[in-house]
Amino acid sequence: MPEDEIFDEEEIVDEDDEKLPFAKAEVVRLMKENLDDDKMIRERVKVEMNKFLGDVLKNVCKQLNDYPYTTIEYEMLKESTYPYTNIERINQEKERILLHLEAIKADCNALAMDVQKTLKLKDVVEEDTFTNFSASLDDEEEGE
């Protein structure tokens, strides 16, 4: 009976192979070339890597379709694949921007504290001046 279960599982895997965008053997070969020799790859990883690569291809082609030209040039491909080929640079830029935003946030907080401390009395005076100014405008309008 266990042999039947193994056979059924292999049939399911074969059905999935038909839906994969690339030849599984080629994807596995490329994975093995780039992984350490002591690594073993589970079947699900092989299938999911194949699907992932298919999704990347679809996304790149969507970007290429956004160009109004009928011929795809190399520069267009380079631009469309930039997020995938320069992920390290993009992550470094993201970290730099986040650190800069944190510094700006700290500056804003410091300025807000300064405003609250030093301009507290002036706020009261400005409110009175504004009230007096508004009242004088109302008086002028009534006089006309």
**Same domain, yes or no: 22 and 49:** yes
Per the structure, the count of domains in the chain is 2
63 pLDDT band (50/70/90 cuts)? very high
Residues with Cβ < 8 Å from 45, sequence gap 6 or more? none
**Same domain, yes or no: 6 and 65:** yes
**Same domain, yes or no: 65 and 100:** no
**Same domain, yes or no: 78 and 102:** no
At 37-53, the pLDDT tens digits run 999 999 999 999 999 99
Instruction: Name the domain boundary from 65, 85, 105.
Output: 85
**Same domain, yes or no: 23 and 72:** yes
| Long-range contacts at 7-13 (CB < 8 A, ≥ 24 apart) | 13/43, 13/47
**Same domain, yes or no: 29 and 51:** yes
**Nearest in space to 29 (alpha carbons), one of 53, 46, 7:** 46
**Same domain, yes or no: 76 and 97:** no
**Same domain, yes or no: 65 and 97:** no
At 108-129, the pLDDT tens digits run 999 988 888 887 655 455 554 5
pLDDT at 142: 57
Structural domain for 93, as ranges:
88-144
CA 132 remoteness from chain centre: 53
Query: With the C-alpha atoms ordered 39, 45, 46, 51, is the resulting torsion angle positive or negative?
Result: negative
**Same domain, yes or no: 55 and 94:** no
pLDDT at 4: 47
**Same domain, yes or no: 29 and 64:** yes
- Name the burial class of residue 82, with classes exposed (0-12), middle (13-18) and buried (19+) by CB atoms within 10 angstroms of its CB: middle
For residue 78, the domain's CATH number is 1.10.20
